[in-house]
Chain A
Amino acid sequence: MHEMSIATNILEIAEQSMDGHDQLLSISVEIGELAGIEFEALEFCFEALKQSSRYPDLTLDITRIPGKGNCRKCGVSVPMKERFAVCPECGGYTVEPSQGQELRVTSIEVE
């Protein structure tokens, strides 16, 4: 359940970026499907966290970035559902992720 730490970090980063505004309305994040985050667990943790924060109506908008990778052996570019995927072309565990490990706060909405 490192998702609780991640949710806490997301809220802290948002609060540090409020630039003098009082109300935090929403936080937009980009999270890759290979970033090691359980999306439902993160949403659950965030719901719990915001209830004890100063912004109980805060929303979290998650943009999922699909996983992609290149096989080091045969050079093909393949979609990746897991961090350690088997290359559909050569069957090796040599697929290097090129997309899907993102974990960042992109913007916040404030009032």
Chain B
Amino acid sequence: MCDTCGCGEGTTTIQTPGEAREHAKMHAEGIEHSHNHDHEHDHDHNHSHGHSHDHGNSHTTTIDVETDVLRENNLLAERNRGIFETRKIFALNLVSSPGSGKTTLLEKTVEALRDDVSIAVIEGDQQSMQDADRIDKTGVDVVQVNTGKGCHLDAKMVNDAIQKLELPDESILMIENVGNLVCPSLFDLGEHHKVVIISVTEGQDKPVKYPTMFAESSVCVINKIDLLPYVDFDVEACKDYARQVNPDLTFFELSATTSEGMDAWLEWVKPAGND
């Protein structure tokens, strides 16, 4: 929905920080403008025939469909994958519960790598431009996808955002999914890797409580390790839990705030580190 005036509730909006500022200015100054709702309006039609039908038999027909419910999403994910492959774009989908430090990790990653490689960011949240504004300050291209009531990004949102970003070839695309350890696991975005982030202020048993996300991810970042002296969190126990559902996970232990452990992560994110 429009994060400025609340119109079009429940619909997805995709905008850059510059656009959002312009839009907010129009509202503040009372400048008349229109909003794109990006959805069709359903209208009631009256189909009264003015006479009654006498049906002696049923006209019911059964049609075989046999279609995967996620077909459309998966086709679009394949399209995204094709774009990433042909243009050598390394795409990461960052998933976690809210508050694990995804945006801070993104800021630090972008700041460390932006001089060596082109990076663009897609931010996913239900509402607000908060995260896109933070990334915008780092100087890299960013698009905010607001899902409205939606609890995850889907392949179409990413496809629409890609069109808006005009990604350069041989770049890195970082997608910050909506903070939610359940729903994003079901939606393929066409990314190379899902990176699940868990912070040490959470329960170390989260991997077995939300196993699907840890199984779908190939990388697990354990964030906020600078807080380990103050919290009851056993890193090895957390890794053991995570390996129970996904023995092939690659782990990075780091603190995005203090930069401890960031080097290994940055080496991995650089495309050269993944060949």
Contacts and interface: CB of A to CB of B under 8 A. Distances in A.
A4 B69 contact: no
A93 B72 CA distance: 32
- Tell me what chain A mostly uses at the interface: helix, strand, loop, or mixed: mixed
Interface in A68-91: 82-84
Interface residues of B, number: 33
Interface string B178-211: 0000110111000000000000000000001001
Contacts of B118: none
- Tell me what chain B mostly uses at the interface: helix, strand, loop, or mixed: mixed
Nearest to A38: B182
B62 A109 contact: yes
B59 interface: yes
B244 interface: yes
Contact of B152 (A2, A9, A105, A111): A2
A41 to B, nearest CB: 11
Contacts of A52: 42
**Is the interface on chain A under 10, 10 to 19, 20 to 34, or 35 or more residues?**
20 to 34
A8 to B, nearest CB: 10
A37 B208 CA distance: 18
B107 to A, nearest CB: 28
8 contacts: A4-B150, A83-B212, A83-B215, A84-B215, A84-B245, A105-B67, A110-B60, A111-B61
Interface of A: 1-2, 4-6, 9-10, 12-14, 17-19, 21, 25, 29, 36, 52-54, 82-84, 93, 103-111
